């Protein structure tokens, strides 16, 4: 029987008592490599209580001390960089180069979070009125949550929890049930860097756990990245308990190509090397098109339409899917 993916509560990895699971496939082979448990309100409640217990101490930890944890985390991410990329390849199916880019973009956010001392600066306005000075300070909001998609297993979670944690908040992460191992490994490394128990918790699941996160009254802020229908639902539910919520949905991206951007004499390898065609192909087919920035509609103006159609058709005939053993 395949492994059940554990969840992180405090500093303990536990296998939750769940009745439903999502199979985790290795896209390159179709093999089922694990089962992701469908957590619900019970597991969310335990995770919230762990975060609640950690918040008073973590929120009062001086910013330089929090930054030191993040600096150590950044070094661990670098030393385990290839391992993380391989995990992404295995459970997501990206090429190795794309997986490395996924990790790199996430590490860059951690580097930003290392500068927490600058991020937390407030504002002062002397003599706002006679004898009155105005001052704004930044304070942690409390417990935050993040719900992330399958297409960028490292980058999108790291858009969220490093900055929230750097600012003194505690965090509940719900990664896509299709790619649970990347998030778990990222959390393991954060604990290894010295993050106190309960500051970061990881729960897995599907609809029930998402709704539990949206509706829990002690979660103060929530970020979501995924499809537009789910984004609307998350935003609606989060509003019922007055959460700060940002919900990013999908996109329909149009590529507009002018006639002078296409060389009609290019075909085959020469066309593939052309900067315009290369940009179009990378936008449409990079990460197998599974990204919100993918070009999904191409408009060629005047002669560019016929030229691009012929070039793309010839190039597309030679495209194929391959596994992580290929470097690009």
SS3 per residue for the chain: CCEECCEEECCEEECCCCCCEEEEEECCCCEEEEEEECCCHHHHHHHHHHHHHHHHHHHHCCHHHHHHHHHHHHHHHHHCHHHHHHHHHHHHCCCHHHHHHHHHHHHHHHHHHCCHHHHCCCEEEEEEECCEEEEECCCCCCEEEEECCCCCCCHHHHHHHHHHHHCCCEEEEECCCCCHHHHHHHHHHHHHCCCCCCCEEECCCCHHHHHHHHHCCCEEEEEEECCHHHHHHHHHHHHHCCCEEEEECCCCEEEEECHHHCCCCCCHHHHHHCHHHHHHHHHHHHHHHCCCCCEEEEEECCHHHHHHHHHHHHHHCCCCCCCCCCCC
Residues carrying an active site annotation: 292
The Cα 328–Cα 326 span in angstroms is 6
The Cα 258–Cα 279 span in angstroms is 14
Residue position matching structure tokens 């509609």:
297
User: Encoding tokens for residue 310?
Assistant: 């012929």
Quote the pLDDT of residue 134. Answer: 94
The Cα 62–Cα 140 span in angstroms is 12
Quote the pLDDT of residue 186. Answer: 99
* CB contact set of 34 (below 8 Å; sequence gap of 6+): 2, 3, 4, 5, 23, 24, 180, 181
Quote the pLDDT of residue 308. Answer: 77
Maximum alpha-carbon separation in the chain: 75
- What does CATH list as the number for 3-120+139-248? 3.40.605.10
Which residues in the chain land under pLDDT 50? 266-268, 271-273, 325-328
Contact at 8 Å (CB) between 96 and 85?
yes
Between strands 12-14 and 21-26, the pairing is unpaired
Quote the pLDDT of residue 328. Answer: 42
Domain boundaries, the chain: 3-120+139-248, 253-316
Provide the whole-model pTM: 0.89
pLDDT digits (tens, 9 = 90+) for 214-234: 999 999 999 999 999 999 999
User: Encoding tokens for residue 210?
Assistant: 């998402």
Quote the pLDDT of residue 133. Answer: 93
pLDDT digits (tens, 9 = 90+) for 261-289: 766 554 445 544 467 777 888 887 777 77
Quote the pLDDT of residue 233. Answer: 97
């Amino acid at each position: 029987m395949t492994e059940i993916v554990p969840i992180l509560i405090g500093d303990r990895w536990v296998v939750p008592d769940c009745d439903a699971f999502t199979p985790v496939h290795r896209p390159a082979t179709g093999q089922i490599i694990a089962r992701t448990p469908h957590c619900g309100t019970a597991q969310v409640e335990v995770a919230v209580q762990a975060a609640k217990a950690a918040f008073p101490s973590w929120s009062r930890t001086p910013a330089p001390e929090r930054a030191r944890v993040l600096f150590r985390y950044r070094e661990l991410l670098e030393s385990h960089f290839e391992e993380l990329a391989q995990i992404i390849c295995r459970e997501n199916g990206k090429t190795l180069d794309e997986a490395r880019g996924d990790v790199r973009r996430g590490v860059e956010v951690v580097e930003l979070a290392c500068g927490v001392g600058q991020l937390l600066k407030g504002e002062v306005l002397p003599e706002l009125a006679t004898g009155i000075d105005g001052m704004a300070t930044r304070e942690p909001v409390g417990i935050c949550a993040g719900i992330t998609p399958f297409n960028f297993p490292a980058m999108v979670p790291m858009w969220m929890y490093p900055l929230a944690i750097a600012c003194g908040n505690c965090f509940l992460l719900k990664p896509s049930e299709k790619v649970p191992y990347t998030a778990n490994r990222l959390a393991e490394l954060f604990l290894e860097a010295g993050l106190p128990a309960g500051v970061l918790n990881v729960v897995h699941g599907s609809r029930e756990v998402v709704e539990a996160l949206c509706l829990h009254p002690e979660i103060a802020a929530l970020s979501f990245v995924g499809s537009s229908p789910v984004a609307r639902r998350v935003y609606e539910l989060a509003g019922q308990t007055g959460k700060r919520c940002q919900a990013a949905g999908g996109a329909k991206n149009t590529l507009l190509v002018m006639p002078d951007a296409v060389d009609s004499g290019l075909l085959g390898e020469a066309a593939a090397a052309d900067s315009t065609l290369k940009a179009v192909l990378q936008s449409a087919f990079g990460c197998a098109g599974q990204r919100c920035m993918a070009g999904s509609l191409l408009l060629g103006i005047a002669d560019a339409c016929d030229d691009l159609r012929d070039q793309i058709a010839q190039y597309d005939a030679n495209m194929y899917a391959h596994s992580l053993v290929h470097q690009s």
